[in-house]
Structure 1
Amino acid sequence: MPFTRFVEIGRVAMVSYGPEHGKLVVISDVVDQNRAVIDRPDEIRRVMPFKRLILTDFKCEMTRLAKKKELSAALEESGAFEKFAKSAWGQKLAKRKAKANLSDFERYQAMKKKQTRSKEISKVAESMQ
């Protein structure tokens, strides 16, 4: 299986470190072999090293250093952020975030639900033997 996640203009990437950790951004331009200009419709364009970016499978068709309006239109047309949210990776991150935001009582309810499910699975497994 060949490598498909290349650094290119319009490639959607996720920030893996820093205050923007977990946010999706779009590569607008490549500065050199270590850095890229990243952009997002609601944020300021800036330079970020590749070490802090995780490339995704999604890409939007846009020109180099596109204006915010063009970037928004390209993202809307490709639906890259929505596709990422529907992917297994995006769903896993959403579940992780939801679990981190649970209250004490919700964690207790989840624990009890898990215990009940485990007991039922044990009963079925014992009856099969």
Structure 2
Amino acid sequence: DVMPFQRYVEPGRVALVAEGALKGKLVSVVDVIDQTRALVDGPGSGVPRQQIRLNQLHLTKFRLKYPFTAPTRVVRKAWTDAKLNEKWAESQWAKNLANKEKRAQMTDYDRFKLSAARVKRNRARTAVFKSLKVKAARSGTFGKRFVPKTPEKKQRTKKAP
């Protein structure tokens, strides 16, 4: 009795607009008009009530509780009571979008600095890994016990005159 889908187009479902003038804005589905369109409202994100195609929406896990075809003031109250903007900002989806935006704003110099920082990080990581590997090899926790061979000391002899 496992349900394959958890996100339905239903009144109260919060969605992210994927394309168009409102791209990146959060809206809440107020009513389903037909199989391709829905009436949405986004009082917390500055989106006026309007119809939008369902293929322009990405449904989120959030759902507001308000009655079917509720007026904007009711949607606004449900939005603020649910602290939707804060919850969205904490979600991994929102963080990924913010990071994507940050990467898009990077200059050539920023990319260079990032590359240099990565090299520095990887060198430090490799040094620590190799030292741990050597320590493990010497103690025998990593394969056979490895004891480095110490070269035999040569006897110093006096040179003949």
TM over 0.5: yes
1:51 paired residue among 55, 63, 85: 55
Cα offset, 1:28, TM superposition? 0.9
Amino acid at match of 2:49: R
CA distance in 1, matches of 2:20, 2:119: 37
Give the equivalent residue in structure 2 for 1:74: 78
Amino acid at match of 2:56: R
Flag the structure with higher helix content: 1
Q: Which stretch of the first structure deviates more once superposed, 3-12 or 91-100?
A: 91-100
Amino acid at match of 2:117: K
Give the equivalent residue in structure 2 for 1:24: 26
Aligned length: 129
Q: CA RMSD in A?
A: 1.8
Secondary structure of the 2:93 match is: helix
Give the equivalent residue in structure 1 for 2:114: 110
Q: Structure 1: give runs of 5+ residues left out of the alignment.
A: none
CA distance in 2, matches of 1:25, 1:73: 14
Cα offset, 1:80, TM superposition? 2.3
CA distance in 1, matches of 2:41, 2:89: 19
Q: Structure 2: give runs of 5+ residues left out of the alignment.
A: 135-161
Secondary structure of the 2:85 match is: helix
Amino acid at match of 2:24: G
Give the equivalent residue in structure 2 for 1:123: 127
Contact (CA 8 Å) 1:59, 1:78: kept in 2 or not?
no
Identical-pair percentage: 33
Cα offset, 1:23, TM superposition? 1.5
CA distance in 2, matches of 1:67, 1:106: 47
2:67 paired residue among 63, 81, 88: 63
